[in-house]
C-alpha cells in the first residue's frame, strides 16, 4: 500500500501515521522527522535547512525530492510506504508521480481556527518521536510513553505557527484538488478523538 497522509500542520498527521504504519506494517516516512534528525546530528543537510525550518518555510524542493527518492528506494519500502509531510506542494507531488506514485491519499480535515492552539500546546518527545497536547497531559515534563524529557518544537512558537499555516494554505492545500482529480483523495474528519480518526481511516483502508 502506497499512502500519503495530507493535512495542515497540527492536524494530527504524525499521531495517525504512527498508528497506520503499525497496523499495516508500512515504513513511516516523515520528511520533517528526517530534517529534524539531521539538525540534531548537525549533518551538512541539517546545517543547510535549520534556518529555513525555524522560520516555518519549506526546504528546497530539489533537495527534499532527492531525499524522498533515496528513502523510497530502500528495501523496507518495497511493499509500500506512508508519506507524512511530503509532498508539500505541486512540484513535489508531480515529481513523486514520476518515480513512486501513491495509490491513496488521506486528507485529514480539521478546523483551521483550532490549529494554532493545537500546535502551540504541543509537546514533543525527542526520544520516541511521539507528541502530546498539554490539554491531555497537563504540565508533566516527561514523555508518557518512554519517560524522556519533552520539548517544545522550535517551529511550534506562535509566530512560526502563523507562517507554517500560511505556507500550508498557499502551497500544500492545492494538493487536495490535484489528488482529487486523480481519483485518489479520501477525506477524513480530523476533528474527532485520536481513536475516532483512526477508526475512520481503518474503515476506508479496509
Ligand atoms: P513537519 O514536521 O512535517 O511539520 O515539517 C517541519 C518543517 O520541515 C516544515 O515546516 C519545513 O520547513 C520542513 N519540511 C518538512 N517536509 C517538507 C517538504 N516536503 N518540503 C519542504 N520542507 C519540508
pLDDT tens, residue by residue, 118-140: 899 999 999 998 899 999 999 99
Q: Does residue 114 have a pLDDT over 90?
A: no
State the distance from the centre of ligand 1 to the C-alpha of 57, rounded, in angstroms.
8
State the distance from the centre of ligand 1 to the C-alpha of 42, rounded, in angstroms.
17
Which residues are known to be catalytic?
13, 88, 122, 153, 164
Residue 55 domain-assigned (yes or no): no
Q: Residue 64: beta bridge partners? A: none
CB within 8 Å of 197: residues ≥ 6 apart: 12, 16, 108, 188, 189, 190
Residue 22 domain-assigned (yes or no): yes
Q: Is the CB of 164 under 6 A from ligand 1?
A: yes
Residue 89 domain-assigned (yes or no): yes
- The H or E element containing residue 107 is strand 104-109
Q: What pLDDT is stored for residue 179 in this prediction? A: 98
Between CA 165 and CA 172 the distance in angstroms is: 10
Q: What pLDDT is stored for residue 58 in this prediction? A: 96
Q: What pLDDT is stored for residue 61 in this prediction? A: 97
Q: What pLDDT is stored for residue 65 in this prediction? A: 98
Hunting for cell 543547510 — which residue is that? 48
Q: What pLDDT is stored for residue 64 in this prediction? A: 98
State the distance from the centre of ligand 1 to the C-alpha of 127, rounded, in angstroms.
19
Rounded alpha-carbon distances, angstroms, from residue 99 to 27, 68, 72, 90, 138:
17, 10, 9, 15, 44
Q: Does residue 154 have a pLDDT over 90?
A: no
Between CA 175 and CA 144 the distance in angstroms is: 34
pLDDT tens per residue across span 177-190: 999 999 999 999 99
Q: What pLDDT is stored for residue 40 in this prediction? A: 93
Taking the CA atoms of residue 44, residue 45, residue 51 and residue 56 in that order, the dihedral angle to the nearest 10 degrees is -170
CB within 8 Å of 163: residues ≥ 6 apart: 55, 56, 57
- What are the backbone angles phi and psi of residue 49, rounded to the nearest 5°? -100, -10
Residue 143 domain-assigned (yes or no): no
Q: Is the CB of 53 under 6 A from ligand 1?
A: yes
Number of folded domains that form the chain? 1
Which CATH number goes with the domain that contains 21?
A: 3.40.50.300
**C-alpha closest to that of 49 among 70, 34, 69, 28:** 34
Q: What pLDDT is stored for residue 7 in this prediction? A: 95
Between CA 125 and CA 121 the distance in angstroms is: 13
Residue 154 domain-assigned (yes or no): no
Q: 112 pLDDT band (50/70/90 cuts)?
A: confident
Half-sphere exposure of 70 (CA within 13 A, CB side): 8
Classify burial at 177, counting beta carbons within 10 Å of its beta carbon; exposed 0-12, middle 13-18, buried 19 or more.
exposed
List b or e across 16-43, with b for residues whose CB sees 16 or more CB atoms inside 10 angstroms: bbbbbbeebebbbbbbbebbbebbeeee
Q: What pLDDT is stored for residue 32 in this prediction? A: 94
Q: What pLDDT is stored for residue 49 in this prediction? A: 96
Q: Does residue 3 have a pLDDT over 90?
A: yes
Domain with 102, as residue range(s), is 2-27+74-111+165-205
Q: Is the CB of 7 under 6 A from ligand 1?
A: no
Q: Does residue 1 have a pLDDT over 90?
A: yes
Q: What pLDDT is stored for residue 42 in this prediction? A: 96
Q: Is the CB of 58 under 6 A from ligand 1?
A: yes
pLDDT tens per residue across span 19-72: 999 999 999 999 999 999 999 999 999 999 999 999 999 999 999 999 999 999
Q: Quick one: which atom of ligand 1 is closest to the CA of 86?
A: 19
Which residue has its alpha carbon closest to ligand 1 atom 10?
A: 56
pLDDT tens per residue across span 63-104: 999 999 999 999 999 999 999 999 999 999 999 999 999 999
Residue 131 domain-assigned (yes or no): no
Q: Is the CB of 14 under 6 A from ligand 1?
A: no
Amino acid at each position: 500500500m502506497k499512502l500519503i497522509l495530507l493535512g495542515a500542520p497540527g492536524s494530527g498527521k504524525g499521531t495517525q501515521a504512527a498508528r497506520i504504519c503499525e497496523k499495516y506494517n508500512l515504513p513511516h516516512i516523515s520528511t520533517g522527522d528526517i530534517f529534524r534528525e539531521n539538525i540534531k546530528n548537525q549533518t551538512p543537510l541539517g546545517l543547510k535547512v535549520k534556518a529555513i525550518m525555524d522560520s516555518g518555510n519549506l526546504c528546497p524542493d530539489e533537495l527534499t525530492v532527492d531525499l524522498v527518492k533515496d528513502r523510497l528506494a530502500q528495501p523496507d519500502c518495497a511493499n509500500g510506504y506512508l508519506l507524512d509531510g511530503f509532498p508539500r506542494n505541486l512540484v513535489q507531488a508531480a515529481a513523486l508521480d514520476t518515480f513512486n506514485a501513491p495509490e491513496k491519499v488521506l486528507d485529514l480535515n480539521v478546523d483551521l481556527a483550532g490549529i494554532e492552539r493545537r500546535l502551540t500546546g504541543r509537546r514533543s518527545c525527542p526520544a520516541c518521536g511521539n507528541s502530546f497536547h498539554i490539554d491531555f497531559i497537563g504540565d508533566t515534563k516527561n514523555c508518557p510513553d518512554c519517560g524522556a524529557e519533552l520539548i517544545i518544537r522550535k517551529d511550534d512558537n506562535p509566530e512560526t505557527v502563523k507562517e507554517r499555516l500560511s505556507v500550508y494554505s498557499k502551497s500544500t492545500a492545492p494538493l487536495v484538488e490535484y489528488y482529487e482529480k486523480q481519483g485518489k483523495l479520501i477525506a477524513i474528519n480530523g476533528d474527532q478523538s485520536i481513536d475516532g480518526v483512526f477508526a475512520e481511516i481503518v474503515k476506508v483502508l479496509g
